[in-house]
Structure 1
Amino acid sequence: MTTLQELLNQRAELERQIAETQRQERVEAIATIRQLMSDHGLTVEDLSSVRGGARAASNGEGKRGKVPAKYRNSATGESWTGRGLQPKWLKAALAEGKQLSDFLIAAA
């Protein structure tokens, strides 16, 4: 039977191996990234501007427009875009047996 001390020693050795493997994989990943950057003529500035540039290209200003409401509660006027969590008023109505399509706003 394995003793507690032997198991602790095994764990310490595994943790050492894990740390070494993580370090080695990180070194390899950095080398791969540097090679790709060199191959494609990229700089660090190129990497940081890609995120902002991609957004700016999507709608011309780098800002996201407001999403129009897709569902409306005709009794209260509350609305929901259909994104994110369902609002409480909609959850309650659905629990009462109504359908999501009952609240759909007709396209203009």
Structure 2
Amino acid sequence: MATLQELLAQKASLEKQIAETQREERANAIAKVKAIMSEHGLTLADLSQRAAPARSAEGGTPRKVAAKYRNGETGETWSGRGLQPKWLKAALADGKQLSDFAI
């Protein structure tokens, strides 16, 4: 049976091997990522983008969706995408039609 000192020495040796293997695997992973980024012309800024915005047909700047509905009192607009704004929900609850706000 191994003594406590022998087991502790084995533990230290294994921890050292684990740390070295982790460093090597991390370095290999970084090299692979750099190679893929280089191959596809990517930068760190490309990786930090959460979602790609809609782009114009030319592929340049993001395009903005035109408003389809306007609040005549305040001038607020809604494109018809996403959740309905509070002003529109309130007006519809009061009996108005969506077509009343069409631009």
- Which TM-score applies when normalising by structure 1? 0.48
Which stretches in structure 1 are left out of the alignment for 5+ residues?
67-108
Q: Cα distance, 1:45 vs. partner?
A: 0.8
Deviations 1:3-27 (A, max 9, x none): 0000000000000000000000010
SS for the counterpart of 1:52 is: coil
**Counterpart for residue 25 of structure 2:** 25
The whole-number CA distance in structure 1 between the counterparts of 2:41 and 2:51 is 19
Task: Tell me the amino acid that sits aligned with residue 52 of structure 1.
Answer: A
What does 1:59-98 correspond to in 2, within 5 Å? none
**Counterpart for residue 8 of structure 2:** 8
**Counterpart for residue 52 of structure 1:** 51
- List structure 1 segments (4+ residues) > 6 angstroms apart after TM superposition: none
Task: Tell me the amino acid that sits aligned with residue 3 of structure 1.
Answer: T
Q: Cα distance, 1:52 vs. partner?
A: 3.4
**Counterpart for residue 38 of structure 2:** 38
The whole-number CA distance in structure 1 between the counterparts of 2:47 and 2:18 is 30
Deviations 1:50-81 (A, max 9, x none): x232xx45xx89xxx56xxxxxxxxxxxxxxx
Task: Tell me the amino acid that sits aligned with residue 11 of structure 1.
Answer: K
What CA RMSD, in Å, does the superposition of the two structures yield over aligned residues? 2.1
**Larger proportion of helix:** 1
**Counterpart for residue 95 of structure 1:** none
Task: Tell me the amino acid that sits aligned with residue 2 of structure 2.
Answer: T
Q: Which protein has the larger Cα radius of gyration, Structure 1 or Structure 2?
A: 2
